[in-house]
Amino acid sequence: MKERTIKLGLCKGRHNIQGVQEYIFENILDPTNLKYMHDKALETINKYSSDVDYLYLYLYVTGLTVATTSVINAVLYHNRTYKNRVILTLYHYNKDTDTYYPQQILG
């Protein structure tokens, strides 16, 4: 069984996250364009999951709830449609400690 773990940020340019080089969304011009956000999130998920059985996706949430929801919906769609499985964990920022803490969503 082949697995991969990937750390991604949600929206580039909103926060500097140590150890995160890639983001699902480079920019979001229209937060009401749900189809674009779903398609972009699904494209990213497919990119990293196409050659593995399990993808552990650690997503660093950088605001914009609609974008986070779009990623969750894309993971749900992916897991229903394809044989491989995405396990999603959100990482939220704690301003008091300047660290991120996990919340497993799907898996």
Q: Per the structure block, which two tokens stand in for 76?
A: 């749900």
- Burial (CB count <10 Å: 0-12, 13-18, 19+), residue 77: middle
User: Mind listing the pLDDT tens digit for each residue in 42-95?
Assistant: 999 999 998 999 999 999 998 789 999 999 999 999 999 987 799 999 999 998
Answer with the residue of higher pLDDT: 14 or 42.
42
User: In terms of Cα–Cα distance, which of 16, 105, 99 is closest to 69?
Assistant: 105
Answer with the residue of higher pLDDT: 83 or 99.
99
Q: How confident is the model at residue 107, as a pLDDT?
A: 66
Q: How confident is the model at residue 25, as a pLDDT?
A: 93
- What pTM value is reported for the model? 0.91
* Spatial distance between the Cα atoms of 105 and 107, rounded to a whole number of angstroms: 7
